[in-house]
Structure 1
């Protein structure tokens, strides 16, 4: 049976179709280990928002109230750093180190426009991001059924991003910019992706990890111009972050609270549970949601396209960061990679099919001698 006749949903064989029998069997071990690691999410304590829809989950995030107070203070005439420091003190938030205060870009824009404009901009950005991913991935699929499943998976991934109640949430905007950047990036055409990546970093500094991943791929593929573009974006972000640090020092003092730190070491199960909680998978039993997250990772790793490998690396990078640094109350960091995350499931059937047939491959080479 050839790889062509074994296609389930995709036009081309998966990355796994080229594996030897021995490597396919090792890949099966890796897949099973990944799924078992995903199931460690069952040992993670309950996160804020578990079992709720996106809008209700937002009500449990006290950070939203803080952002509302900051924007209200700016509309009342205060500068960003004065409004933010006063709101954080009133809410009992730590002001040290400077990273506890968000970068000002999003608040400045939202203070300058009516609230309904901000919501329309969010919904427009979310719609454009979903359409970009549907167009990018739809070309790799065959038939109506897999494309319909793709749309459902994107809807499940982006549930929180269509919630007007989250319009003030920095991770929502940054996650959409990261997702749109990755969807628009093409070989030889990276300017738009770099600009969107910079916008994401200026909203939420944790988006810098995305830029580092993209820089690593550009350098590895010998795309020097693209690599220089990502370097420039990171340098601009570093400059903005330095100015931010200086401004925060100007409105804080030694009596302000200090953060307890971020080295929580909650493990890979925390990242899986955070991604489940940040998507429509929260409506499923946790064990099933965790397995689906693991299979989505397998799907991204199997798609024989540079975008698939980049998305897989991005999930691994943020998964590692959340596993080590995020606290239980900062599970929403997973929103940085959530928008396209579950779409990897559309590649999983072909990936598992290819692995199955390669692992069971019993073909032998027969040498025939012809005597003339």
Structure 2
């Protein structure tokens, strides 16, 4: 009898599944017992703060002013920091707005959000068994991606980068990774916070002994670092003595800050904090327990971006969650089947012991 052409990837062993479930319960407990951190949602600062800054820079750039000169002028006017260089956003979004206009950019973002939602739904099909759960996961992915394509949220580079990361994850498979790598590079050019994603993808390919793919992801990561170095040099050229310095980002907000990012940027924005504390760990558990390379890479991406924010990030930086928002909660339906696999064997053993006694 000929061997089948393909076979499904098995789920994690039961011991690992139970370990993941125990870690999930611990995260839920930590979230429920932690104090609620203050959050600032992107939409809440549409008329001031970062949104007003981005709009003012866009107007200057559209009028023909050099991006870095425009940025320096607006930062100084509003007493925004120019040091260190990462306090100044990469010019990609502002240049794109000048090229196609604000309305054109919004339509491009809408198309990107739709593509990310559809591609994520297609890839979820292999990770979710029952059709009902797949439909639920796809609906969550759509509800997480499509609302990001609004005029206000579009001002945040993290919104563009997050959707590009989601599309990159969904477009990569064992035979096609180059387009995914280019999408990942585009994400890092919008926001340098996507750099760890490129490294994570290179690491995943190296673990699977896919040398060519690992080198490809390493190459785009190197290109992103080079672009960031050029940006740092350009910012240094506009600095003056007395320019404001950032108060820093080391705040050790811990798991509470990660939950605040989810609460600020996902469909959980209106949910009570206790619900957020329960559902976010379950979504991570669903991704971590699902079989296949796609779920494994989504998990690695989530972990790579969430671990640093245990230490880095001020409460007002909760919009960083836009980097993960398109895929974050789609793991919730995956958690259902994972919990059944982890708990059912234990329940069966308990019943057998009871009968024997």
User: What is the TM-score with the length of structure 2 in the denominator?
Assistant: 0.90
Residues 152-187 of structure 1: CA distance to partner in whole angstroms, max 9, x if unpaired?
Answer: 211332254122222221000000111100111111
Structure 2 matches for 1:116-127, cutoff 5 A?
116-127=103-114
Query: 2:261 is matched with which residue?
Result: 274
Q: Which has the higher contact order (CA 8 A, sep 6+)?
A: 1
The match for 2:305 is: 318
Q: Which of the numbers 254, 263, 272 marks the counterpart of 1:285? A: 272
Contact 1:14 1:351 in 2 (8 A): no
Q: Decide which of 29, 35, 40 is 1:36's aligned counterpart.
A: 29
Q: Is the 8 A contact 1:95 1:256 kept in 2?
A: yes
The equivalent of 2:4 in structure 1 is: none
Q: Distance in 2 between matches of 1:310 and 1:125?
A: 20
Corresponding residue for 1:47?
A: 39
Matches within 5 A, 1:103-182: 103-142=90-129, 144-158=131-145, 160-182=147-169
After superposition, residues 108-257 of structure 1 pair within 5 angstroms as 108-142=95-129, 144-158=131-145, 160-257=147-244
**Runs of 5+ unmatched residues, structure 2:** 1-6, 353-357
Q: Output the CA distance in 2 between the equivalents of 1:314 and 1:337.
A: 8
Alpha-carbon offset, residue 77 of structure 1: 1.7
Structure-2 separation of matches of 1:107 and 1:254: 26
Higher mean displacement: 238-247 or 160-169: 160-169
Deviation at 1:131, TM superposition (A): 0.6
User: In the alignment, what sits opposite 1:299?
Assistant: 286
Once the two structures are superposed, residues 32-86 of structure 1 have per-residue CA deviations (whole angstroms, 9 ceiling, x without a partner) of 112223335x51322113xxxx7x4352762111111111001112111101111
From 1, 15, 30, give the equivalent of 2:11: 15
RMSD in angstroms over aligned alpha carbons? Answer: 2.2
Which SS does the other structure have where 1:325 is aligned? coil
Partners in 2 of 1:247 and 1:111 — Cα distance? 19
Larger Rg: 1
Distance (Å, rounded) in 2 between the aligned partners of 1:24 and 1:63: 42
2: distance between equivalents of 1:27 and 1:114?
47
Count residues with an aligned counterpart: 345
